[in-house]
Structure 1
């Protein structure tokens, strides 16, 4: 009975605010107290740089160039390369739509940005595992699935 009540409470909370993990976390209490009493100078811009976008761009660019280099050498395009390009089209479309709808629909825009990240990661795995032996493909896709499960559980 306790489990059922907890499940009902969780559903009620979820229905009230459908995507609570998209809200920025509140600052820690000790940081909030110190900001009020003693304002600190902001760190330089270089320290605030988010490395996820350049790293993603580099990984995706290098994976794409490796796959296209293989195509130039062997002269054929595997069918999974078509799924890679489809994943990139979906990712780009998600980002583009998210940027335009963000003023009116902030939650939908955040969800589309998350979907774009998902499709970029999927495209990376498709491209990087394109020409690996079957055993390494299985290991790579296992890592991909495990990462997705961890992300879902932790958020």
Structure 2
């Protein structure tokens, strides 16, 4: 070895975990997007409900509101539960995202004619099926 040469040791290669230990997680941005959707919609619902008597609201409108409440509650609780109960937090986070996406589909398809509603809900069902198949 020459006087001004240095020896550099490389760290050991990082081993990937075995496939059985891989866990699919919802990206944190997705949960935040659902929360933003719920908060925005909540303010709009509050403003509209003061302007319109409740007798004019359809069952679909109440379903969207209920789904947004579930989505917000699940994601909110998941953030505080996941530190002590990571599995429960992950399940609640996933359930919140599913409720938020369902509320989005219901809200978007309210004004569609029947054929477009059917196409949209088939896309929704196929999306859920693809997620289920890819994660099981």
Structure 1 runs (4+) greater than 2 angstroms displaced = 19-24, 50-62
Q: Separation in 2 of the partners of 1:92 and 1:58?
A: 9
Please give the TM-score of this superposition, normalised by the length of structure 2.
0.63
CA distance in 2, matches of 1:119, 1:22: 18
Aligned residue pairs, count? 108
User: Aligned partners of 1:60 and 1:154: how far apart in 2?
Assistant: 31
Is the CA contact (8 Å cut-off) linking 2:74 and 2:93 kept in structure 1?
yes
Equivalent position of 1:133 in the other structure: 113
Where in structure 1 are there 5+ consecutive unaligned residues? 1-16, 25-49
Where 1:92 maps in the other structure, the secondary structure is helix
Distance 2:25 2:104 in 1: 27
Closer/same/farther in 2, CA of residues 22 and 108 from structure 1, 3 Å limit: farther
User: What is the DSSP-based 3-state SS (H/G/I as helix, E as strand, rest coil) of the residue aligned with 1:116?
Assistant: helix
Shift of 1:92: 1.0
Query: Larger helix proportion, structure 1 or 2?
Result: 1
Q: What is the CA–CA distance in structure 2 between the aligned matches of 1:136 and 1:23, rounded to whole Å?
A: 32
- Secondary structure class of the residue paired with 1:21: coil
Does structure 1 residue 154 correspond to structure 2 residue 134?
Answer: yes
Larger radius of gyration: 2
Structure 2: distance between partners of 1:135 and 1:121: 20
Equivalent-residue separation in structure 2 for 1:53 and 1:23 (angstroms) = 11
Q: In 1, Cα distance between the equivalents of 2:84 and 2:64? A: 31
Residues 1:124 and 2:126 are matched in the alignment: no
Q: How far apart in 1 are the matches of 2:111 and 2:25?
A: 40
Distance in 2 (CA, whole Å) between partners of 1:60 and 1:102 is: 22
C-alpha displacement at 1:122, in angstroms?
Answer: 0.3
Change (3 A) 1:23 1:76: closer
The two structures, once aligned, show a CA RMSD in angstroms of 3.4
Paired with 1:52 and 1:96, the residues of 2 have a C-alpha distance of: 13
